[in-house]
Amino acid sequence: MRTRSLALTALPLTALILLAVLLGLLCSAPGQAQSQETAPTTLAVLPFENNAVTDHQAYAPLAQGLAAMLITDLKLAGTSLKVIERAQIAALLKEIALGQSGMLDAGTAVQAGRLLGAQAIAFGSFMVLGNDVRLDVRIVKTETSESILGASIMGKKDEFMKLERQLAEKIAASLKTTLAPPPSGPAARGGMDAALLYSRALEALDKGDKAGAEKLFAETVAADPAYKRQVDGVLGALK
């Protein structure tokens, strides 16, 4: 009878232990899933590869220009997303001799991202054929080399800024954030001609020609006021 009594007493204790274990697992699982699904909060945008078929050399400056435009848009996303400054990226790429070619495979891009302290890296290419434009981008986590975005945007040269904006929105969405609405302003085209002026200004800036860069930035805004925000973004980062 005593043995039976002890067994009956032990049963509730065993059940309580099992219940506590199950509750612990249930409580910890959502936290673990949330941790695994947490989006990167630090991003580096590398120069894009120039795959232009039409006037290949003329579009070379756009490799830096497109990346700089994305950096400006993503920095003004209005969220906690931290975007590595263009000058910091340029310094690293120069050190590893990749600044001019703009050609990066996924492994090298991830390595660059780690050196920059970024949790994710954005890199890609652009193609120009006649009046047609295609922008391609990949986002890769630097810790695991996991690809979290592969996207393409296609359109016309005269809507280049619109295409860049769409690409920025896709990048932001992959990092679980959204872009702030573009500021209202004077009617502007946002075409590729002004984007090339802007890109050439960046090129001059990188070569240490500040006067030449300021002149080209002024020409950019005069040609298309839509680029004032981009110009202000670059100049603001220099202060």
pLDDT at 1 over 50: no
Domain extent, residue 137, equals 42-180
How far apart (Å, rounded) are the C-alpha atoms in residues 197 and 206?
14
Q: Provide the CATH number for the domain around residue 77.
A: 3.40.50.10070
Average pLDDT over residues 33-58: 83
Q: Match 């996207």 to its residue by tokens.
A: 151
Q: Is residue 61 part of a domain?
A: yes
pLDDT recorded at residue 187 = 55
Give Cα 130 to chain centroid, integer Å.
27
pLDDT recorded at residue 186 = 56
Q: Is residue 157 part of a domain?
A: yes
pLDDT recorded at residue 109 = 84
Task: Of 16-30, 63-77, 171-185, give the lowest mean pLDDT range.
Answer: 16-30
Q: Is residue 235 part of a domain?
A: no
Q: Is residue 18 part of a domain?
A: no
| H or E, element range at 70 | helix 62-75
Q: Is residue 198 part of a domain?
A: no
| Spatial CB neighbours of 216, under 8 Å, sequence gap ≥ 6 | 197, 198, 200, 201, 204
Q: Is residue 210 part of a domain?
A: no
pLDDT band for position 233 (50/70/90)?
confident
Q: Is residue 199 part of a domain?
A: no
Q: Work out how many domains the chain is built from and give that number.
A: 1
pLDDT recorded at residue 38 = 77
Average pLDDT over residues 36-42: 75
Q: Is residue 58 part of a domain?
A: yes
Average pLDDT over residues 120-139: 96
pLDDT at 6 over 80: no
Exposed (0-12), middle (13-18) or buried (19+): which is 159, by Cβ within 10 Å?
A: middle
Q: Helix 192-206 vs helix 62-75: angle between axes, to the nearest 10 degrees?
A: 100
pLDDT at 22 over 50: no
How much is the pTM?
0.80
> Are 59 and 103 a contacting pair, CB within 8 Å?
no
